[in-house]
Amino acid sequence: MTKRNDNDRPVIGIDLGGTKILAAAVDAKGNILGRSKARSVPKGAKDPGPELVAERMAEAVRGAAEKAGLELSKFAAVGASAPGPVDIFTGRVMGAVNLPSWEKPYDLGPDLSEKLGLPVFVDNDVNLGTLGEAEMGAGKGVADLLGIFVGTGIGGGVVLNGKLRRGSRWSAGEIGHMMMSCEGRDADVEFFASRGAISRNMSEAVTRGESPIVKEILRKRGDDRITSGVIRKALKQGDPVTRRILHDAQNGLGLLIASVVNLLDPDMIILGGGLVESLGDSYIDPVRDIAYANFFLRHDREKIRIVRAALGDDAVVLGASVLARQMLAGQVPE
């Protein structure tokens, strides 16, 4: 009888978002054995904050184990994401601005580890989304790539020589906060090119009475928020205002891609996130054209592939499972 290697055993990956927690039990080959879902903070919670969120995460882990039909003790480790910078050696989350009462550092890794009786490893969510895509998704086998995730904001991750780059203050990959100047205003690319930016510009256009089409869509929905669904609908109805606003955002994203390619000359750019999932290739194609047109080195530009993410909503839980395996195997992060 041989002792089973830790790396043959399943692990659990957690994706902690602003509103929901996803957890998945993942076997050594990357198959998902069971999933569970929870709200990050229960509605009307009197005392939100990291302690309560950690409790919800632990519950999600137990739920995923149950769905996989395995006791918690059968798992080798847990990998978890957090929406903020993380010291991955200690599992300390420096802050998570989109969760209530979580401005200060919190030792999420140690807390979860005590609750679950398992080793727990934590990293930034977009880093883990990129790691998931790099190891098990669109970037499989690619040495140098960047993941860019476009949603309310723009997040990213950098993989060089097959390794996720963390940075000297654990804040590498803040690609949405690269700076641009548009119409005389200095701001980060997130301000010009995110779904949030598109929504803001569309809302303002509706307020100015410029887009009766969008106004009518919102009226029918009985909700003023401009979601990816609203953007898609407005495009389908041929709204010229939405088309122009989207084009400006695509232009910003294309220039951002050109910037990182001119700096790092990687093999691949992976585009994911809510807006990409919702609008698909018709959104990506013009972005790719704009990017290629702004590469400094023109030759072999198609060598740099600009592709859509492959794992959808599973990118972060799968990336978290990869993190857990890498840390168990003693692969020191950089």
What residue has token string 């995923």? 64
What residue has token string 């995460």? 57
Contact set for a second copy, span 9-48 (CB under 8 A): none
Question: Containing H/E element for 232?
Answer: helix 228-236
Could you tell me the smallest distance in angstroms from the CB atom of residue 129 to a second copy? 16
180: exposed, middle or buried (Cβ count in 10 Å: 0-12, 13-18, 19+)? middle
Site pattern 227..256 for a second copy (x: CB under 8 A): ---------------------x--xx--xx
Instruction: Report whether 13 contacts 30 (CB < 8 A).
Output: no
Instruction: Report whether 160 contacts 282 (CB < 8 A).
Output: no
Site pattern 163..202 for a second copy (x: CB under 8 A): --xxxxxxxxxxx-xxxxxxx--xxx---x----------
Size of the site for a second copy (CB under 8 A): 51
- Tell me whether residue 19 or residue 168 sits nearer to a second copy (CB atom): 168
Could you tell me the smallest distance in angstroms from the CB atom of residue 1 to a second copy? 42
- Tell me whether residue 173 or residue 273 sits nearer to a second copy (CB atom): 173
Could you tell me the smallest distance in angstroms from the CB atom of residue 38 to a second copy? 29
Walk across the sheet containing 92-93 and list its strands: 86-87, 92-93, 106-107
Token digits for 330?
A: 């003693």
- Tell me whether residue 47 or residue 186 sits nearer to a second copy (CB atom): 186
Question: Containing H/E element for 86?
Answer: strand 86-87
- Tell me whether residue 31 or residue 331 sits nearer to a second copy (CB atom): 331
- Tell me whether residue 7 or residue 251 sits nearer to a second copy (CB atom): 251
**In whole angstroms, what is the distance from residue 281 CA to residue 304 CA?**
17
Instruction: Report whether 92 contacts 85 (CB < 8 A).
Output: no
**In whole angstroms, what is the distance from residue 108 CA to residue 99 CA?**
14
- Tell me whether residue 149 or residue 192 sits nearer to a second copy (CB atom): 192
Angle between helix 281-293 and 240-264 (nearest 10): 50
Could you tell me the smallest distance in angstroms from the CB atom of residue 312 to a second copy? 25
Among 160, 235, 284, 310, binds a second copy (CB under 8 A): 160
Could you tell me the smallest distance in angstroms from the CB atom of residue 33 to a second copy? 35
**In whole angstroms, what is the distance from residue 126 CA to residue 17 CA?**
11
Could you tell me the smallest distance in angstroms from the CB atom of residue 101 to a second copy? 19
Instruction: Report whether 11 contacts 78 (CB < 8 A).
Output: yes
Only one of the segments 63-71, 156-164, 235-243, 278-286 lies at the binding site for a second copy (rule: CB under 8 A); that segment is 156-164
Could you tell me the smallest distance in angstroms from the CB atom of residue 53 to a second copy? 21
Nearest one of 40, 35, 186, 144 to 99, comparing CA atoms: 40
Contact set for a second copy, span 257-316 (CB under 8 A): 258-260, 262-267, 294, 296-297, 299-300, 303-304
Provide the residue type at 291 as one letter. Answer: A
Contact set for a second copy, span 75-114 (CB under 8 A): 85, 94
- Tell me whether residue 18 or residue 295 sits nearer to a second copy (CB atom): 295
Could you tell me the smallest distance in angstroms from the CB atom of residue 293 to a second copy? 10
- Tell me whether residue 111 or residue 144 sits nearer to a second copy (CB atom): 144
Could you tell me the smallest distance in angstroms from the CB atom of residue 279 to a second copy? 20
Instruction: Report whether 147 contacts 157 (CB < 8 A).
Output: yes
Cα within 13 Å of Cα(58), Cβ side: 18
**In whole angstroms, what is the distance from residue 138 CA to residue 141 CA?**
9
* Contact footprint for a second copy (CB under 8 A): 85, 94, 144, 156, 158, 160-161, 165-175, 177-183, 186-188, 192, 248, 251-252, 255-256, 258-260, 262-267, 294, 296-297, 299-300, 303-304, 334
